[in-house]
Amino acid sequence: MLLAQLPIAVPNWRDLLEILIVAAVFYRVLKFLAGTRALQIVFGLVVLAVIYVAAFLLKLSMITYVLGVVFTYGAFAALVVFQPELRYALARLGQARPFGFFGGRSASVVAEEIAESVERLSQSATGAIIAIEREVALEEYLDSGTRIQASLSADLVATIFSPYSPLHDGAVVVRGDQIIAAGVILPLTQQMLSSKTMGTRHRAALGLSEETDALVFVVSEETSGISVASKGSFEQGLTLERVRALLARPSTRS
């Protein structure tokens, strides 16, 4: 055969399977890191690797030695630097099929809890902001608030945003069926808001939606209206049916 005469190795089906598996793993890792500070660190490591190869080819022994030491102990540093992302990845793995049946609640139950939460807050004219984490991890924002690990419920959300709660001024961050943080300070948008009834909560919700793919619900303390920020834009005057529909929609990246 012609392929057999070429001076290259011809991959068999096992090699092709391994290539596909490795490619899929790299794709999932990059998709997981996209939009986080960890991706910037990965790019930095790639730059160092390129410099190392160039130094090796040019026989720059000192640079090669220094970078060799960095890479040798870099694995231990990576465990520390990527600790939040690794913890998040393991949590996501436990929620994924076929492991998901061991724990977690269905998306419809979570949507119902959030819908009931915003309905209660709207009826009592209690200001609130609820950020729903999607594909892009929100780890970098959590340290500005109080990390918690509690099952999502309308009662708990209403308690957090009650005027006497020390966490009511910030945002609640929801991951899956868990509230992972409360009192979180979100980045403010630089856009001009379209309505004078929109305040700091709306600016924070819009700011987060500009930097991530999070779905951010806001209950106005002044008007009791329900709004949502997504992909850098606002939708006001939401009904409960609309809230449920938004939560049932799968997350997509533009």
Per residue, the 3-state secondary structure of 90-111, as one string, reads HHHHHHCCCCHHHCCCCHHHHH
Give the contacts of 26 (CB within 8 A, at least 6 positions apart).
Answer: none
pLDDT at residue 33 above 70?
Answer: no
The owner of tokens 């990845």 is 89
Report if pTM > 0.95. Answer: no
3-state secondary structure 138-154: CHHHHCCCEEEEEECCH
* pLDDT computed for residue 25 by the predictor: 82
Is there a cis peptide before residue 250, judged by omega within 30 degrees of 0?
no
Per-residue burial over 174-205, b = 16 or more CB atoms within 10 Å of its CB, e = otherwise: bbbbbbbbbbbebeebeeeeeeeebeebbbbb
Q: What is the pLDDT of residue 253?
A: 41
User: Structure tokens of 66?
Assistant: 């220094």
Both tokens of residue 225? 């209206």
Confidence of residue 88 (pLDDT cuts 50, 70, 90): low
Q: Which domains does the chain have, with CATH numbers?
A: 7-81 (no CATH), 105-248 (3.40.1700.10)
154-184 pLDDT, tens digit each = 999 999 999 888 888 899 999 988 999 999 9
Q: What is the mean pLDDT of residues 86-99?
A: 54
What's the mean per-residue pLDDT of the chain?
80
Q: Would the pLDDT of 80 be above 90?
A: no
pLDDT single digits (tens) 112-129:
999 999 999 999 999 999
